[in-house]
Structure formats: C-alpha cells, structure tokens
C-alpha cells in the first residue's frame, strides 16, 4: 500500500506542557474494544479507579469536561501509572487523521492541534503545491474497492492535484486563484450554479454601497450558520460573540496569502477525495474557502494559530456542524459559488 503524508507529518510530536491547550478537555473519549479488554484486566487500586471512570464505552468526564485522568500538572495519570502503551486508540492517534482509498492511504495532523497548525504554516511548498508531500510503501492491507471506483479515485486525485497547481500559481492574487478553484469545481462537479445570488434581482447592482451591504449581509448569514450546531465550549462561545460583532467586511489581519493557500490546500488534502463517496466535490472546495474567510475574521482578535485551532474544533470535529455546512453549501443560495466570488472580489 502507498502511504502519502505532508512532509511535516513525521516531525510531529505532542509538545505536552509547552502547549497552551490540551486534548484532554472538551472531548468525549471513546474506548476501543481492545483497550476496554485490557482495562478490565488491570489489577490494584489504579485498575479499580480506571474501571470506575468508564461508562457506556467511554471515559466519564470530570467537571469542566476534563478527562478523569488529566492531572493538575497537565500530565496523563494513565501514562504515569501504566505507560504510553496503555492509551486507547483515540488518545494514541489524536490529532492524527487517516483515510484509505483502496491501496492508497493518506495521513495528516488535524488543525485542532496548535503544533500541527504551526508545522503547516511553517512548511515548505513546491512549484505545483502549497504543501509538499512524501510517499512511501507500507505493509498495511489495502481496502477492496471495485475497478470503476479505482478509476474514479484516480480521477479525483488528478482533480485535486490541479487545484493544488492553481493555488501554487503566485502570478495571481490569492483571491483570483480561489475564484479559479470555484470555477474548476463547478465545471468538474456538473453543478448547475445558482443564477440568483443573495439579491433576489438577478441583475447585479452597480452601486458600490449597495454591493457592500449585500456582501456584508451574506457574510453575516455565513457566520450565523455556525450557531446552528452545538458549541465546542466556552472558548468558542466567547470567540463567536466577538465574531458576530465584527461580521461586516473582509478582515485584514495577521494572515498572509501564503497562510491562506496552505490552509486551503490542506483542507482539500483532507476532504476533496471524500467526494469519491458522496459526489460532492464542489462543497469540499467551498468548505476550504469558507474556512479561510471565517478564520481571517477570527484573526482580528485571536492569534493565527488560535483562530485556526478553534475554528477547526468547532467545524471539522463536529459531525453536526459539518453536516449543516454541507447542506447549506448544497441547498442555500447564500452559499452559491457566485456569492463566494462576490465576497472574494470585495
């Protein structure tokens, strides 16, 4: 099997006490079957404590949604007592993600992790992609998929490579490249674009103030969608209040075009190939651009890394929110490609 990873993947390691965040707060921690069998056999007082804190296949969180084994000094009590091999799969693998498409496996580091974000933003690019990738053969067994699905998979990989090339074309401003991404995605998806944008009148207004007002209303609606699902937690609640207050106009903050192309390319790396299963390649492009637009607004009151990390947690790590966004991109004219272009041209 072929393994493909960003070139910084193997450099990643948890920075533990140096991290301003923790993966052990705010998440429901499911326990895989093999780990549950091991935990059932651990003897002594710690084994009893371990089993007392397991309920319905996951750890019972302490007040503040803390893992019951997170110590006040930020260390893991399980590791301290039993070693790293005692961790369940999700604790061992998080924040890594993995996708398998037949005989090709892709892995990466989730943007919910500040060290992963730092490595991405500091990573090198190539002439054909904002992100460099490395490939190697591994011994894992491939998934069985039909021959026609393999052909579709390879075609989608080619499409994604073309999107990377568009993003790597520094002869154009970033927003022009993003418009080109949308045009390519519309063409390849066979999507019939909404002719009607936010304004019910299909004739574009030539009045600058009117256009700005329409764009601001669209952005405001895009932000309001994020309130439809469950909140990640207090950090998101606080940031969202700030976001609502700054919901007019595009933001100019700490982010650079290089940051933008890396973030978008990385989200395409993680999600675009999933269109093999749902056929929604356009929505994958729209999500990457939407994420970039919203994270720039968070950047007006958060650091770059905190803005990316928090938005990733609220969107990518919520099946509910991702489902809501997918539906909005597919059905709501406010999220039409033309409205994306309107915002990018402002």
Nearest to 106 by CA among 141, 136, 126, 146: 136
The average pLDDT across 75-96 equals: 89
**83: nearest Cα among 74, 73, 72, 75:** 75
Residue 281 pLDDT grade (very low, low, confident, very high; cuts 50, 70, 90): very high
- The 96-101 sheet, strands edge to edge: 96-101, 104-109, 2-6, 133-137
Strands 133-137 and 58-59: unpaired
- Please state, as a whole number, how many other Cβ atoms lie within 10 Å of the Cβ of residue 310: 24
Average pLDDT over residues 131-138: 97
Query: What are 135-178's pLDDT values in tens digits?
Result: 999 999 999 988 889 999 999 999 999 999 999 999 999 999 99
Whether the Cβ atoms of residue 92 and residue 250 lie closer than 8 Å to each other: no
Backbone angles phi, psi at 253, to 5 degrees: -130, -135
Higher pLDDT among residues 26 and 217, named by residue: 217
Helices (H), the chain: 33-41, 44-52, 77-82, 89-93, 114-121, 147-167, 174-189, 208-225, 234-245, 257-271, 275-278, 281-298, 304-315, 319-331, 337-345
Residue 336 has pLDDT above 60, yes or no: yes
Which pLDDT score is estimated for 171?
96
Answer whether residue 11 shows pLDDT above 90: yes
102/1 Cα distance (integer angstroms)? 8
- Cβ neighbours of residue 122 closer than 8 Å, sequence gap 6 or more: 8
pLDDT > 90 fraction of the chain, expressed in percent and rounded? 73
Average pLDDT over residues 273-287: 95
Give the model's confidence band at 247: pLDDT under 50 very low, under 70 low, under 90 confident, else very high: low
The answer to whether residue 180 scores a pLDDT higher than 70 is: yes
Crossing angle of helices 257-271 and 147-167, rounded to 10° = 180
The tokens for 167 are 């993003």
Closest CA to 293 of 244, 235, 249: 249
Q: Please check whether residue 289 is in contact with residue 181, taking contact to mean a CB–CB distance below 8 angstroms.
A: yes
User: In the beta sheet, which residues pair with residue 136?
Assistant: 3
pLDDT at position 202 over 80: no
Of 289, 245, 250, whose CA–CA distance to 267 is shortest? 289
Is residue 199's pLDDT more than 60?
no
Q: In this predicted structure, what is the pLDDT of residue 196? A: 41
Lowest mean pLDDT among 20-34, 280-294, 331-345: 20-34
Backbone dihedral region for residue 57 (phi beyond 0: left; psi -120 to 50: alpha; all else: beta): left
Confidence of residue 207 (pLDDT cuts 50, 70, 90): low
Half-sphere CA count of 318, side-chain side, radius 13 A: 23
**209 — pLDDT class (breaks 50, 70, 90):** low
Average model confidence (pLDDT) across the chain: 90
CA distance 245 to 95: 31
| pLDDT over 60 (residue 195) | no
Q: Determine the Cα–Cα distance for residues 182 and 205; give it in Å rounded to an integer.
A: 22
Q: Report the share of the chain in percent with pLDDT over 70.
A: 93
User: Cβ distance 331 to 218 under 8 Å?
Assistant: no
**The predicted structure's pLDDT at residue 254:** 85
Stretch 70-87: mean pLDDT, rounded? Answer: 87
**Confidence at residue 201, expressed as pLDDT on a 0 to 100 scale:** 43
**Cβ pair 193, 337 in contact under 8 A:** yes
Report the first-to-last Cα separation within the chain, whole angstroms: 45
Residue 22, pLDDT > 90, answer no
343 pLDDT more than 80: yes
pLDDT tens digit sequence for 43-54: 999 999 999 999
Confidence of residue 12 (pLDDT cuts 50, 70, 90): very high
pLDDT at position 206, please? 53
Report the C-alpha gap between 270 and 98 in whole angstroms: 9
What is this structure's pTM? Answer: 0.88
- The yes-or-no verdict on residue 298 having pLDDT over 90 is yes
């Amino acid at each position: 099997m072929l393994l493909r990873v960003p070139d910084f993947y193997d450099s990643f390691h948890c920075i533990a006490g140096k991290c301003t965040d923790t993966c052990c707060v705010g998440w429901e921690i499911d326990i895989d079957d093999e780990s549950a069998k091991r935990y059932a056999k651990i003897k002594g007082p710690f084994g009893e404590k371990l089993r007392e804190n397991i309920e319905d296949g996951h750890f019972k969180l302490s007040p503040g949604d803390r893992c019951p084994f997170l110590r006040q000094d930020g260390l893991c009590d399980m590791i301290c007592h039993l070693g790293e091999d005692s961790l369940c799969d999700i604790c061992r693998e998080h924040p890594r993600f993995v996708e398998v498409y037949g005989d090709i496996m892709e892995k990466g580091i989730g943007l919910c992790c500040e060290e992963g974000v730092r490595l991405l933003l500091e990573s090198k690019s190539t002439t054909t992609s904002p992100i460099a990738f490395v490939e190697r053969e591994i011994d894992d067994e491939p998934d069985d998929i039909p021959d026609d699905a393999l052909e579709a998979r390879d075609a989608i990989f080619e499409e994604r490579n073309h999107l990377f090339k568009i993003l790597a074309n520094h002869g154009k401003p970033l927003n022009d490249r993003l418009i080109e991404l949308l045009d390519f995605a519309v063409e390849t998806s066979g999507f019939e674009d909404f002719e009607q944008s936010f304004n019910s009148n299909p004739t574009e207004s030539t009045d600058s103030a009117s256009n700005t007002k329409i764009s601001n209303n669209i952005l405001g609606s895009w932000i309001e969608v994020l309130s439809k699902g469950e909140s990640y937690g207090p950090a998101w609640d606080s940031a969202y209040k700030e976001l609502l207050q700054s919901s007019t106009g595009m933001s100019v903050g700490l982010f650079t075009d290089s940051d933008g192309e890396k973030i978008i390319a990385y989200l395409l790396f993680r999600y675009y190939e999933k269109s093999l299963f749902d056929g929604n390649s356009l929505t994958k492009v729209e999500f990457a651009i939407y994420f970039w637009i919203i994270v720039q607004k968070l950047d007006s009151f958060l650091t770059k890394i905190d803005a990316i990390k928090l938005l990733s947690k609220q969107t990518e790590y919520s099946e509910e929110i991702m489902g809501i966004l997918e539906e909005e991109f597919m059905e709501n004219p406010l999220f039409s490609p033309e409205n994306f272009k309107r915002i990018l041209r402002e």
